[in-house]
Amino acid sequence: MNHLLLTTGLYVLTAVAEIVGCYLPWLWWQQRAPVWVLLPAAASLALFVWLLTLHPAASGRVYAAYGGVYIATALVWLWVVDGVRPTAWDCAGAALALAGMAVIVLAPRTGA
């Protein structure tokens, strides 16, 4: 269980780095934020890529499991940053994605 918590925490941190790296350019493009926001956006995307390398599993498996956490994190971002409360359908979809992530991460493996 501790492994799942650490892995999920790393996935959440990775998702936040990706979302920030994409959100800041969106602010610049859509909301007329100053151009300098592109610098922390680039740094955040570089952090995102580096964080993905910290996962011990095979890269395809990491990306597949990460997707579930990304969905849930994006919905939290929607609520906290954008001020839009997720619907019950959003939450159900995130729960399904997180269940899929748990299956991928917790599956017994031999070798890879």
Per-residue pLDDT tens over the stretch 47-97:
999 998 887 766 777 788 888 889 999 999 999 999 999 999 999 999 999
Cα-based angle 62, 49, 14 (whole degrees, multiple of 5): 65
The backbone region for 71, taken as left when phi is positive above 0, alpha when psi lies in -120 to 50, beta otherwise, is alpha
Q: Which residues contact 55 (CB under 8 A, 6 or more apart)?
A: 7, 10, 62, 66
Domain edges within the chain: 2-106
Mean model confidence pLDDT for the chain: 89
Q: What is the pLDDT of residue 36?
A: 96
Gap between the Cα atoms of 58 and 24, Å rounded? 30
Q: What is the pLDDT of residue 109?
A: 79
Q: Which helix (H) or strand (E) holds 41?
A: helix 38-52
